[in-house]
Amino acid sequence: MAVTRRRFNAALAASAATLQFGFNLTSARAAYRGPNVIIVRFGGGVRRAETIVPDTTWAPYLVNVLAKRGVLIPDVHIADIEGMDTSHAEGTINILTGRYAAWKDAGSKFLTPRIEPTAPTLFEYLRKAFDIAPHEVLLINGEDRPQEEFFSFARHKKFGGAFRAEVLSLYRYKRWLYQTLIAEGRAKSEQLENLAEQMKKFDKHTLPGRTPKANARLDRFWQHWRRDYRETGLINARGDQLLTELALRAMRQLKPRLMMINYQDPDYVHWGNASHYTRAIAVIDRGLRQLVETADHMDAYAGRTVFVVIPDCGRDSNSLLGIPFQHHFNTKSAHEIWALVAGPGIARGRVLDKPIDQSQIAATVGAVMGFKARYAEGDAISDLFS
């Protein structure tokens, strides 16, 4: 068949798009018709004893209600790899990419961890396979974890920023507010200085090519946040309750198809007080309940949403240590976690009695959503599906 001029021009435009964005714009991506997935990182490191063991749990909703709606996997392991720490960034990137050590340290600056994923994240697989807008794929981050801002996409030549997730966090709000106040031109200099000061901690982590992009849907989201919680930071929820609030509002206003919530507060036990740990587990459990109950009452989510609940890492069991519940000593129980998966297509009320590796979660989410996590090491957990 002769190549007409019109076709030739289209081919040229397509290759220009490939050069500029790293993907072919003319190959229309399919509309996404699969289930929504909400990944709840039961994070900040938790042990099985305080979460999934019925007699000693601080998470009654997880154990007594949600487990009955899905498959509980009590024996998930984090592989023991030489030189790998059982910690938050490592576990989170493993959940998101299905690969251990799929991150690189972009060079410490004043001993600040600046790491980014090097294998594609679930967000990128999904957005590359389907026609899904950035605001429909969300990462909800804690207010004190600047290093987690960069988990929204990988440094990877076939994936990366063109397929990123958007991030919702207090940092993102302050950043938006700061720019908005300057544009409005009527903020007091004291207020601007205060905001600039608060953002400095995050700026130390900034990596090249990772500046958040303008997004009209997120603008509106933050406008509503500002209307309700104003500008002081004193009215909105804090800690992991803030993450629940961001996630619930996101469900109502942005309707994400894939969302990961990076809960973190059990980690405050690093300061030595065991009740910080157990109380934080109860707060995440209440958040989980609110997320599921909200999903149950929304057309966009009811009967169409798979919840994947998984810790980033475990914690030590050695009660002889001066400060209990740490996780950097590579002890056995720091590698021992669990998972709970519930929703359409997943078996109900079952306990999967077989060892599973944390790196299988990414491929499993891919199987639920209809894409292949090609770079993941672990296989999908096929026993989950009903």
Q: Which amino acid is at 338?
A: W
Give the Cα separation of 65 and 94 in Å (integer): 27
Number of H helices, E strands in the chain: 11, 11
Q: Which residues pair with 341 in a beta bridge?
A: 71, 308
Decide whether 134 or 142 has the Cβ nearer to Zn ion.
Answer: 142
Decide whether 70 or 314 has the Cβ nearer to Zn ion.
Answer: 314
Per DSSP, the three-state class of 260 is strand
Count CB neighbours of 11 within 10 A: 12
Residues 211-250 as x/- pattern, contact with Zn ion by CB under 5 A? ----------------------------------------
CB of 58 to Zn ion, least distance (A): 18
Decide whether 267 or 377 has the Cβ nearer to Zn ion.
Answer: 267
Decide whether 215 or 330 has the Cβ nearer to Zn ion.
Answer: 330
CB of 334 to Zn ion, least distance (A): 10
CB of 8 to Zn ion, least distance (A): 57
DSSP 348-360: SSEE--S-EETTH
- Is residue 85 exposed (0-12), middle (13-18) or buried (19+ Cβ within 10 Å)? middle
* Chain residues 266-295 in contact with Zn ion, contact rule CB under 5 A: 267
Decide whether 272 or 349 has the Cβ nearer to Zn ion.
Answer: 272
- Please give the helix or strand (H or E) that residue 341 lies within, else none: strand 336-342
Give the Cα separation of 197 and 171 in Å (integer): 12
Identify the residue whose tokens are 């599906």.
385
**Binders of Zn ion: how many residues, by CB under 5 A?**
1
CB of 312 to Zn ion, least distance (A): 9
Decide whether 143 or 267 has the Cβ nearer to Zn ion.
Answer: 267
Q: Which stretch binds Zn ion (CB under 5 A): 68-76, 163-171, 264-272, 295-303?
A: 264-272
CB of 314 to Zn ion, least distance (A): 11
CA dist 246 → 39, 121, 262, 298 (Å): 14, 21, 11, 16
CB of 276 to Zn ion, least distance (A): 12
Chain centroid to Cα 263, Å, comes to 9
CB of 44 to Zn ion, least distance (A): 6
Our finding on whether 265 is near Zn ion (CB under 5 A) is no
Q: Which amino acid is at 373?
A: A
**CB closest to Zn ion, residue no:** 267
Q: Which stretch binds Zn ion (CB under 5 A): 3-11, 89-97, 165-173, 263-271?
A: 263-271
Site residues (CB under 5 A) for Zn ion? 267
